[in-house]
Amino acid sequence: MLPGLRLRQARERLGLTYRDVERASYELAARRGRPDFIIHISRLADIENRGVVPGLHKIVHAGGPLPVESAGPLSLVRRPH
């Protein structure tokens, strides 16, 4: 399954909107003092809908507000064959 689709399924299962995830990323970024942790709505939409593969730190922090299975947010990423 594609990583963006898995991320979308997790977000929708929790009843979260793009805006909810963006807001949670702003809060996380503020707590950590790391503005690069912010995931803008447009970026999240690109990941979910266009197959854009974000950098590792974005993957980890995109999963912050979304409990994605027990393997964590890195379970969204498949190693290339």
Residues 6+ apart with CB under 8 A from 48: 4, 5, 7, 8, 11
In a domain, 35, yes or no: yes
- The confidence score (pLDDT) of residue 58 equals 63
- The confidence score (pLDDT) of residue 79 equals 43
- Any idea what the CATH number is for the domain that residue 34 is in? 1.10.260
Greater confidence (69 vs 51) lies with: 51
Number of domains in the chain: 1
Greater confidence (57 vs 78) lies with: 57
Residues in the chain: 81
Q: What is the residue range of 30's domain?
A: 3-76
Kindly state the tokens that stand for 41: 């709505």
pTM value?
A: 0.68
In a domain, 52, yes or no: yes
In a domain, 81, yes or no: no
- The confidence score (pLDDT) of residue 60 equals 63
The tens digit of pLDDT for each residue in 3-18 reads 788 889 988 998 999 9
Kindly state the tokens that stand for 16: 């979260």
Rounded distance between C-alpha atoms, residue 21 and residue 24, angstroms: 5
The tens digit of pLDDT for each residue in 26-67 reads 988 898 898 888 889 999 999 899 988 777 666 665 555 555
Angle in degrees, 0-180, between the axes of helices 18-32 and 41-49, rounded to the nearest 10: 120
